[in-house]
Amino acid sequence: MSKNIDKTAEKEEQIARGNRIKEIRENELRLNKTDLAKQIGISSQFLGLVEEGKGNLVYRSVKLLRNLSGHSADYILYGLDDNVITQTKECLEEYSEEELLGAIKVLKHLSLFLRNLSN
């Protein structure tokens, strides 16, 4: 049963990823399938399969799409908000590595504390 749930979730992620790629192509880059496919090193037919959630881009193609679109690979692959990543980086730039490691330790303890509260 668990394998079926995993496969269903994986398929849903693949469809969502394809929709994001299509959205980027159509509404941001304003390219047709043929032009984007050429620029990221795949066929337009394969790009169509990716956009339909029936295929996945290889690393090189994701990297090229990232460079073209300005979106992070995290956004393209997983839908993680680019703004959150950028804002987090900007906030953390003013702290030393030692301060950041201390903050991570505090977050781990907080996470465990909150988990224990819910149990």
CA–CA gap between residue 25 and residue 29 (Å, rounded): 5
CA–CA gap between residue 27 and residue 88 (Å, rounded): 26
**What's the mean per-residue pLDDT of the chain?**
92
pLDDT in tens, 24-41: 999 999 999 999 999 999
| Position 65 confidence tier, pLDDT thresholds 50, 70, 90 | very high
Is pLDDT above 60 for 64?
A: yes
Domain boundaries, the chain: 1-80, 81-119
Among the listed residues 65, 70, 67, the one whose alpha carbon sits nearest the alpha carbon of residue 21: 65
Task: State the pLDDT at residue 118.
Answer: 78
Whether domain 1-80 has CATH 1.25.40.340: the reply is: no
Mean pLDDT of the 91-114 span: 92
Backbone φ, ψ for residue 16 (5° rounding):
-65, -40
